Each structure stands twice: as C-alpha cells, then as structure tokens.
Amino acid sequence: LLSKSKPPYDCIVNSMVINCVTTPSKRGRMLSMCYHQLRPGGVLFLILPKLCLTQSKHMSRKYLEEILREGIGFEILNDGKRESPKLAFFVLRRPLDGGDDSGDVSVRRWNDKFSKTQVLYHGKKFRNTFT
C-alpha cells in the first residue's frame, strides 16, 4: 500500500482519524507516514476534536503544533488559528526542501524529546486521555 518510490500525493485529508488511533506512538507513525506520502510542497489537512487539545492533561494545541513542526517536520500554514467550537483544524505542508525524499516511511524526521508522554497539566480532572 505504501510506495517506496516517489511520494504519490499532493494532498491528504485526515479528518477525525488521529483521535481514533489508540496509542501516541501509532499516532506519531501515522503522521510520519502522511509526511512521507506527500510530495515536497504537498498539504495535509488535519482535523481533530477540540476536546483532544483542551481536555487532556497530556496535550495542548501549542504542544501538538510543536510535535508537528519539530517532531515530524511539517510547516503549519494557517498559523494555528483555525477552529470551531468543537473542532481544531490544521493545514500542514511538507517543506519543498529538506527531509527525506525517498518515500521510505521507516526513515522519520523525529525528535526523541516527543517519545515520552508528559503531563502538561496537574491537579485538574480531565475527561480526555489524548496524548
């Protein structure tokens, strides 16, 4: 299913999917695969429930943006300002330069500082365990 030749896609839409992936490492792998399946300059539209960013002691919008930029290598095009009362929207681009162009998903641009789950917020009860 995944091509090891030239990345085939100019655009990928990931709407309400990432929050259904069961573990942080699998979510990271999924985002990394999206990155590697995009051609340089290709765009990923990422949409997830806003509660994943506002009701988790492990995640915030700022931390997710840091993971997307520094952990995976995406450029955030919409300055992180798009959201509705229930959804958070991200427009991400694979940079035209840099990164691995082989399409091999086993080669990830990953920063190890994101490998461990951190508690960002203490004391309050949260309804969501999104990490």
pLDDT of residue 75: 94
pLDDT of residue 115: 55
Selected residue with higher pLDDT from 31 and 123: 31
Cβ-based neighbours of 117, under 8 Å, separated by 6 or more: 24, 58, 131
Task: State yes or no: pLDDT of 128 exceeds 70.
Answer: no
Task: State yes or no: pLDDT of 126 exceeds 70.
Answer: no
Residue (of 114, 70, 115, 112) closest to 95 by Cα position = 70
Task: State yes or no: pLDDT of 107 exceeds 50.
Answer: no
In the chain, % of residues over pLDDT 70? 67
pLDDT of residue 113: 60
